[in-house]
Chain A
């Protein structure tokens, strides 16, 4: 990639028929653009990770601790005793191959070890060798192989070529979830001090400052106020930005990218406008200033540690319930892990919309509601005045972010919002949306720039489906509800589908929302003129 630009023809030339080769011999080549850097020492130390050290995947010697093999095998045993999923998934795969071509990394790279079944076999082969009679007796014939340093390197390479998107799990006849496999693979690597910078540095920042980007409280305040200024510039309305306010009814938690990076920034503006318009009694928090949780991409313990701030802060501020912004893996944690990690939340109240009186029964225990559920309910109950024509320049398609789709089933709420705030909405082909959605290619800690070739490859199936609706319907914006999407898609789409922008669903809400006392809007939230409908989107015919 570094030398030669990756082209659609390169991908079209990939044969999904791997050449005959014995995968049991660990072969891994750390090529520029296809792997992630190792975690800096200071961040390993901040999180007190085991066997901390400076090392580099390109080095021959990874400076593994002396008893690394024993550490790995003990960690395997420990996880088998703690996670039924893992134990079961090591045992019951029949290698039918249904998962093989469901992985965006396999589709984009053709590397047979990116077939989900192979990713798991990289671990299973070691499991058989040390934990099953068949593997001990028959060795390779029994599907077993020796654990050596090359295997560790192979694990590092391939467990950081999985975005834990769970697409393969949809197709597996036993529901084997490669996300569980990868999570455990990473836990094993962590145990011997092999972790990834793009995971550990944000997690370390989040531990200390409350958010992945390491934004300290005063800077966060400035940032939110500057978003309020931007809202003022567009609408002429001065919106409040309540922060760390005790006694608010609702704690609002959103990924830090929303107040630090575009295009997530416009989503933040949308939230601020919405909350102002409905007079929501809410607060941001600087301590719990991160909805996302990169700990999830590291280990259950770090995930739990970072997540603990949400309930702790809700308790300290004395709110009634929690509202969460647009984010993918954040909602995996909030929906499937938070209550288990850090519940119970009985100091909170069961969420009720102060505007419509709707009780969010589906959040009765965790007491945290997704912003799309909240807004869809507002729209359904006619609490918002919307002018979808303000989004007329957008021909919208919706990308189901992996986690809200496959871990929550949040599918129709965002579509309902889009349909009420936009006039032009087109679905991508059915094999690429809803529970079959394709990952952006940069989730689970793979979104770093040094990994760009793999990101482009992994994101190709999604981009290819976007290209289809671009050509068929003139789609020019990909709406999504995930902060990683909002960071990963702009370069990905610029590369594969120039002319298609990325937007949060609440940016579209902000554009369409008619606010009381607003001035005549001349621009959308991006500052682009509103009347410039049908302007040449450009870029589609780049040679």
Chain B
């Protein structure tokens, strides 16, 4: 069963590669793949992203529900945990930045285990945090490096980043550090899904699809540089012409790039409709982005509709006699007389 969940998405990605090979053979399709496809997929990406974000934003946050992870701000002599229980915008910004850039919640991860004498222990379990962070940081750096194809003259920090990332090139030519890290991280993220029974149980085909697509893009990208030596000047001309909305296919672009671009286009078109939207979603998460100040400041629920209530008068009507008997004060002496 896991086999099916893994093999079908794998087959889909292999199918895309074969499709790229096929399209590459047909000269008439080059313009479509290199020009039209990026535009279509780019459009789907941006439109989809905006649509999804707007859809989330359209739903209100009726209740103030931060998950508080530390001491509240209460009495002045009690030390508040400013990141775990933020009470002003600076603090909650800190909390969010720590989540986005350092995966702080995931850093807490532990693993339950049985120790002797029926004891439960919760050992630190930071591999997922490390693997996740390694993957995302590498991805970010790789995307950032790609800006050199889209800027002319190349934005200076992009070059610095490429130089830094390329330090290893002294030993292994044309290989970036992040290329290695992202591939290792992806292999780890895939392996844990199939090896650890809990994660295998919960994984869906779409979880594997995302991994395989990204792997495909990464591998084809690495191969393009290190093995097949695709002529990057043509790639750059193509990229620049696309973002200038004056597209030209200026020269011979090899099959590896063809594969890379088809996979990358699929990935970005799929992005807004996939779980990868967590990238934008984290910003909207009400358990993380709200201040723990709900007793200091009233949170407004826009649909706060009236509900049926049992009023004091109705209550007293039912219990008046008993209340009077035991000397509890009442508002009126007789039912309905007020």
| A residues at B contact (CB < 8 Å) | 8-9, 11-12, 14, 16-23, 48, 80-88, 91-98, 100-102, 107, 112, 115, 117-118, 121, 132-134, 141-143, 166, 169-177, 180, 207-210, 216-218, 221-222, 243-246, 286-287, 300-302, 304-305, 308-309, 312-313, 316, 334-337, 339-341, 343-344, 358, 360-366, 368, 373, 376-377, 380, 405-413, 416, 429, 431-432, 434-436, 460-461, 464-465, 467-468
Contact = CB atoms under 8 A, between A and B. Distances in A.
Nearest to A370: B74
A17 B311 CA distance: 52
B31 interface: no
Interface of B: 1-2, 8, 52, 55-75, 77-79, 81, 84-85, 87, 99, 103, 105-106, 108-112, 114, 118-120, 122, 128, 132, 196-207, 273, 275, 277-278, 281-282, 284-288, 292-301, 303-304, 307-312, 315-316, 318-319, 322-323, 325-326, 328-329, 331
Contacts of A410: 72, 74
Contact of B281 (A48, A91, A316): A91
A435 B59 contact: no
Given A96-B106, A115-B201, A431-B110, 10 more contacts: A14-B114, A87-B55, A170-B67, A173-B132, A217-B323, A244-B323, A340-B63, A340-B300, A361-B296, A412-B79
Contacts of A180: 65
B322 A216 contact: yes
27 contacts: A8-B118, A20-B2, A21-B201, A82-B59, A83-B60, A91-B52, A96-B128, A97-B198, A107-B112, A143-B206, A170-B67, A171-B109, A173-B105, A207-B310, A210-B315, A222-B326, A246-B329, A286-B328, A309-B312, A312-B312, A316-B312, A344-B298, A365-B295, A366-B296, A368-B295, A432-B122, A464-B119
B64 A336 contact: yes
A361 B52 CA distance: 39
Given A173-B99, A365-B298, A373-B74, A115 B202 contact: yes
A87 B286 CA distance: 11
Given A340-B63, A409-B72, A411-B70, A174 B285 contact: yes
A373 B103 contact: no
Contacts of A405: 68
B294 A301 contact: no
Contacts of A464: 118-120
A216 B318 CA distance: 10
A500 to B, nearest CB: 16
Given A210-B315, A217-B322, A435-B68, A175 B277 contact: no
A210 to B, nearest CB: 7
A83 B60 CA distance: 6
A83 B331 CA distance: 40
Contacts of A19: 197
B202 A97 contact: yes
Contacts of B85: 409
Given A100-B198, A101-B112, A366-B295, A376 B75 contact: yes
A34 B301 CA distance: 36
Contacts of B284: 84, 88
B45 to A, nearest CB: 16
A366 B72 CA distance: 15
Nearest to A344: B298
Contact of A107 (B66, B120, B312): B120
B283 to A, nearest CB: 10
B106 A98 contact: yes
Given A175-B285, A177-B65, A365 B297 contact: yes
Nearest to B303: A82
Contacts of B63: 300, 336-337, 340
Contact of B68 (A222, A406, A432): A406
B310 to A, nearest CB: 5
Nearest to B289: A175
A429 B122 CA distance: 9
B78 A376 contact: yes
Contact of A174 (B8, B87, B278, B298): B278
A78 to B, nearest CB: 10
B198 to A, nearest CB: 5
Contact of A340 (B281, B285, B298, B329): B298
A84 B59 contact: yes
Contacts of A339: 294-295, 298-299
Nearest to A373: B74
B119 A93 contact: no
Given A23-B201, A435-B70, A340 B292 contact: no
Contacts of B69: 170, 406, 409, 435
A141 B295 CA distance: 45
Contacts of B202: 95, 97, 100, 112, 115, 117-118, 121
Nearest to A285: B312
Nearest to B8: A141
Contacts of B111: 101
A365 B296 contact: yes
B294 A208 contact: no
Contacts of A218: 319, 322-323, 325-326, 328
Contacts of B58: 81
A339 B62 CA distance: 12
A428 to B, nearest CB: 11
A465 B284 CA distance: 35
B75 A308 contact: no
B212 to A, nearest CB: 14
B133 to A, nearest CB: 10
A231 B187 CA distance: 67
Nearest to B286: A85
Choose among A21, A300, A312 the residue with the greatest number of B CB atoms under 10 Å from its CB. A300
A343 B87 CA distance: 20
A308 B233 CA distance: 70
A174 B299 contact: no
A270 to B, nearest CB: 20
